[in-house]
A and B are shown apart, each in its own frame.
Chain A
């Protein structure tokens, strides 16, 4: 990959980037959802256009072919995450669904009153809301690791004290959808947290939604028990996610969705479940979406070097920050040095101009950015609950995109300042 720009060959594989040549779109909301390579869309269409069947149910040849195709994707995901076994890969409806599945299948059975759950102040609501609800129902206690307002990284200064309080679960995101690299340039703070958690035999669940398209994930090296991500945030179809669940925990996990496909035998007074992972996948799975994910992982394997993507996105981040910083009254929330090394989100606010007004006006320039609280309300306390604007990058963004965003922001801020 060219360090200066995403190649035209790469961009040509994403039809949505050029859908309307009369109104170019400068898409910077990739942390919300990423565009899909044409090969992935084609794979999904091919599945529907060709004879197929349901999975794990019928013996006619097209159904067997569908089952094989589906299970091959599970193996691809296993390799993508470097999981020890394909049985550790459970298909879900998305990262939020995966995390809720951890709550229902493991946490409600194993957390007792007074047990500690560690989260961070920067967690997406998928974690923040979930684990507070779990605590309410189990009597567990949530410990929120604050974000240091000087460095925008996780503050572990009180970790030893927190770990002395019966911590049973650490539930954190690998990358903040607002701040970016909140664990340090090499995730050293996350390593420190996980090491401390293992010392007290706590379990670890990681939300990798903002990581999966930007750096290589190795669940064994990370040493997590559960990991969640969504297909659409890496360019796959919506409605599909993955839950990695360490095999050693499977017998301690209770299915929470019941129906066809997950039950092995039904006797008058006894039901037995299938082996994992089918035990945790009731009903017809999202087969077409899984096929799409398989095509997407092929795309990543054949055409994407995630280390290069990370460097490239950090370069674009650095350029974006340099341009935005020239705007008087614009404040970037995040550690600019870290963002220049490993960033792919840049979040900011402008004095006197509401983020919604900025984002609406930027839309008139073809620029797509998110504005608001980014589903991370507790974090906004760091900037006095102001709404912020977020630009989030993907492998197909170019330096021209970034320059356009900078120019549009300058123009929009000037227009608003003139009027207000």
Chain B
């Protein structure tokens, strides 16, 4: 595959599959400063977030959920990226950020699966 080109095959994306099988930050934080859930009824994907924000910095984040590989793995990948960032920095993240993170080509319908966690995170911090 050409450098910089993305595959469209989830199965071939080793890092993505690793995050699905061994999710990072899959936990429920006790005494969070925020807790929020999102559910995509068209496919049944669910993401729940609990997190801690101190002085405008996301110091801890945990996710729970169920659904397709893309939604769950993307949630895991996102938590690694955002812990330690400021709320202002997180608000700048967008769908393209997540799609680059997951490393596969996505059409608009599948992009929703990948961005579900970011969607609920932004809602939590707004």
Q: Indicate which residue in A357, A363, A364, A419 contacts B68 across the interface (CB closer than 8 Å).
A: A357
Say whether A373 contacts B10, CB under 8 Å: no
Q: Indicate which residue in B8, B10, B21, B44 contacts A387 across the interface (CB closer than 8 Å).
A: B44
Tell whether B122 is near chain A: CB-to-CB under 8 Å: no
Say whether A385 contacts B70, CB under 8 Å: no
Tell whether B42 is near chain A: CB-to-CB under 8 Å: yes
Say whether A419 contacts B41, CB under 8 Å: no
Residue of B nearest to A363 (CB): B8
Contacts of B45 in A (CB 8 A): 356
Tell whether B88 is near chain A: CB-to-CB under 8 Å: no
Tell whether B113 is near chain A: CB-to-CB under 8 Å: yes
Nearest Cβ on chain B to A371's Cβ, whole angstroms: 7
Nearest Cβ on chain A to B99's Cβ, whole angstroms: 14
Tell whether B38 is near chain A: CB-to-CB under 8 Å: no
CA distance A373 to B44 in the complex (A): 8
Given A356-B70, A356-B113, do A377 and B41 touch, yes or no (CB 8 Å)? yes
Contacts of A356 in B (CB 8 A): 43, 45, 68, 70, 110, 113
Given A356-B113, A357-B70, A364-B8, do A419 and B17 touch, yes or no (CB 8 Å)? yes
Say whether A373 contacts B41, CB under 8 Å: yes
A-B contact pairs, 17 of them (CB 8 A): A354-B43, A354-B67, A354-B68, A354-B69, A356-B68, A356-B110, A356-B113, A357-B10, A364-B9, A372-B43, A373-B41, A373-B43, A387-B42, A387-B43, A387-B44, A419-B21, A420-B20
Nearest Cβ on chain A to B44's Cβ, whole angstroms: 5
CA distance A357 to B45 in the complex (A): 12
Residue of B nearest to A384 (CB): B44
| Chain B positions 17 through 36: 1 when the CB is less than 8 Å from some CB of chain A, otherwise 0 | 10011000000000000000
Contacts of B41 in A (CB 8 A): 373, 377
CA distance A19 to B39 in the complex (A): 38
Say whether A361 contacts B11, CB under 8 Å: yes
Tell whether A100 is near chain B: CB-to-CB under 8 Å: no
Q: Which of B40-59 contact A (CB under 8 A)?
A: 41-45
Q: Indicate which residue in B9, B20, B42 contacts A361 across the interface (CB closer than 8 Å).
A: B9
10 more A-B residue pairs beyond the given contacts A356-B45, A357-B70, with a C-beta to C-beta distance below 8 A: A354-B43, A354-B67, A357-B68, A364-B8, A371-B43, A372-B42, A373-B41, A387-B42, A415-B11, A420-B21
7 nearest CB pairs, A to B: A354-B68, A356-B68, A387-B43, A372-B43, A372-B42, A373-B42, A387-B44
Contacts of B69 in A (CB 8 A): 354, 357
Q: Which of B1-23 contact A (CB under 8 A)?
A: 8-11, 17, 20-21
CA distance A385 to B70 in the complex (A): 18
Tell whether A40 is near chain B: CB-to-CB under 8 Å: no
Tell whether A299 is near chain B: CB-to-CB under 8 Å: no
Tell whether A355 is near chain B: CB-to-CB under 8 Å: yes
| Chain A positions 361 through 399: 1 when the CB is less than 8 Å from some CB of chain B, otherwise 0 | 101100000011100010010000111000000000000
Say whether B43 contacts A355, CB under 8 Å: yes
Tell whether A416 is near chain B: CB-to-CB under 8 Å: yes
| Chain A positions 342 through 357: 1 when the CB is less than 8 Å from some CB of chain B, otherwise 0 | 0000000000001111
Nearest Cβ on chain A to B5's Cβ, whole angstroms: 16
CA distance A118 to B67 in the complex (A): 33
| Chain A positions 54 through 69: 1 when the CB is less than 8 Å from some CB of chain B, otherwise 0 | 0000000000000000
CA distance A416 to B20 in the complex (A): 12
Q: Indicate which residue in B8, B17, B44, B113 contacts A385 across the interface (CB closer than 8 Å).
A: B44
CA distance A371 to B17 in the complex (A): 20
Say whether B44 contacts A360, CB under 8 Å: no
CA distance A380 to B41 in the complex (A): 10
Contacts of B9 in A (CB 8 A): 361, 364
Contacts of A385 in B (CB 8 A): 44
Say whether A419 contacts B110, CB under 8 Å: no
CA distance A385 to B66 in the complex (A): 12
CA distance A377 to B41 in the complex (A): 7
Say whether B110 contacts A360, CB under 8 Å: yes
Contacts of A387 in B (CB 8 A): 42-44, 68
Say whether B43 contacts A361, CB under 8 Å: no
CA distance A377 to B43 in the complex (A): 9
Nearest Cβ on chain B to A366's Cβ, whole angstroms: 13
Nearest Cβ on chain B to A353's Cβ, whole angstroms: 9
Contacts of B70 in A (CB 8 A): 356-357, 360
Nearest Cβ on chain A to B58's Cβ, whole angstroms: 28
Contacts of A371 in B (CB 8 A): 43
Contacts of A372 in B (CB 8 A): 42-43
